[in-house]
Structure 1
Amino acid sequence: MPHLTVEYSANLDGRADMERLCEQLLSAVIGTGLFEVGAVRVRALRADHFAVADQLPENAFVDLNFRIGRGRSAEEKRRAGEAIFAAASEVLTNLFQTPHFALSLEIREIDADFSWKKNAIHPRLRGQ
């Protein structure tokens, strides 16, 4: 259940390659070795309406919300977070050349008692 949601300000259209960002983030999550491939999801959602800091029109953001199931140590979560943040920072490096961009990441653990899933991808990838 590792789901990574990329929320970004609409003014990044044409300034950031969201497709590449999603691909690199997927690679980073899988590369940690902590998550089953068939469970990983990365999605980017554009925020059409936003207000950032001092409201200059060039202010922009990318917020990463990584939801995972319980069962990983603090060190494993830290390692995953560092890999994800490094991948995002690399893809978005040009945005840090201006004083108008903010990148954030939060890891949230999901309570399995209140999470329902049905996944037809797992059997295919597991060879079942």
Structure 2
Amino acid sequence: MPHLVILYTPNLDQPAAQGGSDMAALCCALAQTLCAQVDEAGKPVFPTGGVRVLAYPAAHYAVADDGAAGLAAGDGAGYAFVYLNLRMGRGRGSATHLSVGRALEAAAQAHFSALLASRHIGITLQIDEGPEVFDAKHSSIHPLFHKPAHG
């Protein structure tokens, strides 16, 4: 953990000139943001090997009035929507939740700034935390970040 899942309207899978967005770049920016987070003591909030950012276009969607008000306002691209949900394990304080949320919000707003200025788009970020009723993990990624120091 943390796992950040992004659901978005597939009309964002277009070139930027057509009102789209580089979702792979968003994933990378958000992963870097998560890896950079430190708590009040200056320690990493998340293990680097546990950071996951996954983005999925919705196969089917409807947003608001299906674009009628946007069309009337001159937006021919239709509405776009992005939902970001961060799931993290328990044990972090509210100050850490807030700082992580603000950092992710800033990264998402920076990524979508041109779209926010040029078309109708909604962005929602939510953070969820345990309690898990079952939690199993198997990974050969974590050991990459726990190599012994050579001296």
Which TM-score band applies after superposition, normalised by the shorter structure? over 0.9
Which of 42, 49, 52 pairs up with 1:38?
49
Alpha-carbon distance between aligned partners in 2 of 1:23 and 1:6, rounded to the nearest angstrom: 12
Stretches of 4+ aligned residues off by more than 2 angstroms: 110-113
**Higher alpha-carbon deviation: 78-87 or 93-102:** 93-102
Name the structure 1 match of 2:78. Answer: 58
Name the structure 2 match of 1:5. Answer: 5
Alpha-carbon distance between aligned partners in 2 of 1:98 and 1:52, rounded to the nearest angstrom: 17
Residue 81 of structure 2 aligns with an amino acid whose one-letter code is F
Alpha-carbon distance between aligned partners in 2 of 1:124 and 1:23, rounded to the nearest angstrom: 19
- Percentage identity across aligned positions? 39
Residue 108 of structure 1 aligns with an amino acid whose one-letter code is D
Which of 74, 81, 89 pairs up with 2:94?
74
Number of residue equivalences: 128
Higher relative contact order (CA 8 A, sep 6+): 1
Secondary structure of 1:11 counterpart: helix
Alignment root-mean-square deviation, CA: 1.3
By percentage of residues, which structure has more strand? 1
Following superposition of structure 1 onto structure 2, how do residues 20-39 of structure 1 map, counting pairs within 5 Å?
A: 20-32=25-37, 33-39=44-50
Alpha-carbon distance between aligned partners in 2 of 1:47 and 1:17, rounded to the nearest angstrom: 16
Alpha-carbon distance between aligned partners in 1 of 2:119 and 2:23, rounded to the nearest angstrom: 20
Residue 37 of structure 1 aligns with an amino acid whose one-letter code is T
Residue 66 of structure 1 aligns with an amino acid whose one-letter code is L
Name the structure 2 match of 1:109. Answer: 129
Q: Which has the larger radius of gyration?
A: 2
Output one character per residue of 1:55-92: Cα deviation in whole Å (capped at 9) or x when no partner. 11611101000000001000101100100111011011
Alpha-carbon distance between aligned partners in 2 of 1:117 and 1:106, rounded to the nearest angstrom: 23
Structure 2's unaligned 5+ residue stretches are 15-19, 38-43, 68-76
